[in-house]
Amino acid sequence: YGDENNSEIQTQPYILIRQRKSVIEARNLAASEGVPKEELEKIIGDNQTWEEAGDQAKYEVDDKVTIITKFYKNNGKVYYTMATRYLDIIKDENSGLTRYPIAHMLWEDKEGSARGEGEVRNLIANQIEVNKTLMRRALVAKQTAYPQKIVNVDAIENPSAVDTVGGTIKVKGKQVEDVKKMFAITQPMQMSSDVELLQNDLIKTTRELAGAGDITTGAVNPETASGKAILAVQNASQQPLVEQMASLKDFIEQIALIWLDMIITYNPNGLILQDKSINQITGEETITPIKVNEEALTKLKASVKIDITPISAYDKYAQELSMENLLKGGWFSPQKIGQLETYVEALPDNSTMPKQQLLELIKKVKAKQEYIAQIQAQMQMQTQRANQFLQNDPDAQASQMAEAQQRIDSQYNSN
């Protein structure tokens, strides 16, 4: 970054992006940008790998070169330059954008730092202590948890047999009953359980303070609690991560603003979108082109807002259970569909209930009811006409039949 003390990307004086590409790929890129063929020889491989992440990245198989891309702003527009050490591939190109096409998410803000601070930094001390405690336990187990042999070597003819599985130990001029005076085994010592409790407590406390406990990560037995109960506890346990969730939301909003800036810049005459609609009765799909002018896109640019709703296995379980309860309660019947619609519309957008799916389903049910009502009304009208026709005298019936035949003939002739 041009200003390493400012975390706001869009106010940076410039941004440098470093890439490692093969020499062949870099030359092809330069050729596609109109660089003369004789200038391509200036793109040569180098060994500038000390800033590459990972040990294997520092040992490259192919001949590679470093490409630096610089973004900067001039009169409110984003310009960019791409170059190797000895050749400018692109120089001072106006992208037309008003925002840097770059977004970043800081796990935790740090005053005066453009890069923030990672989650792991504050966990290093705890991890070192956990590792030391585990090593101490391993050393104690190695030294005292196994029985040790005590042997009077002067009283045994073949001391090497002591360490041989199934070997015969030969005693020098002693009775077998006195073997305990020459050979003994120590009893293993019991390690204090406080050591294990300390280690587990360190791990548990560190995870919970970081918002990564068993409840948050979903390591809960679903047979001992309902889906809604687990979701309630999960939401409560995620309070330490509110700052990170806000950062993620802001990160996605920044990406949306960048996309919108690209759409407005590279579509000066507006944007053509396709509106897909489905007939609720016939199921026929219709696609209608809709033109969105630049003015509407500019207004949209000022009102970009992202709503993030986490979905877990328990969220899906709670949704399925809610739908099942509605079905069992008969709330999709014609008599209750109106009450159900009122209830669903009152639900918040981030409710456990699948609000949008329920509204679409209610819309389909009401459309089918209207279609059935129309058919029933037509059938009733036809029945009334048939009864009226049968009740008329023969002359009136003949007149009606003649009029009907005349209408049929006129329609046939017009076709």
Tokens encoding 126: 């705890």
H/E element, 174:
none
pTM of structure: 0.57
Listed as ranges, residues in the chain with pLDDT below 50 are 223-224, 234, 236
> How far apart (Å, rounded) are the C-alpha atoms in residues 80 and 88?
11
Nearest to 28 by CA among 119, 89, 80, 74: 89
Domain ranges of the chain: 9-94, 121-217, 315-390
Tokens encoding 288: 């209608």
φ, ψ for residue 62, nearest 5 deg: -90, 160
Nearest to 87 by CA among 151, 36, 128: 36
Residue-level pLDDT at 1 = 85
Tokens encoding 259: 């996309």
pLDDT digits over 280-339, tens only? 666 677 788 888 777 777 777 656 565 555 555 556 666 777 777 777 878 778 778 788
Tell me the angle at which helices 294-301 and 242-266 cross, rounded to the nearest 10 degrees.
160
Tokens encoding 236: 């409560």
Residue-level pLDDT at 368 = 79
Residue-level pLDDT at 172 = 75
> How far apart (Å, rounded) are the C-alpha atoms in residues 133 and 369?
70
Return all residues near 325 (Cβ < 8 A) that are at least 6 apart.
Answer: none
Measured in whole angstroms, how far is the alpha carbon of residue 268 from the centre of its chain? 33
Residue-level pLDDT at 122 = 82
Residue-level pLDDT at 140 = 86
Tokens encoding 38: 């004789």
Contact 82, 69 (CB under 8 A): yes
Amino acid at site 201: D
- E strand spans, 77-207: 77-83, 88-94, 149-151, 183-185
Question: What is the signed CA dihedral for 205, 206, 208, 209, rounded to 10 degrees?
Answer: 110
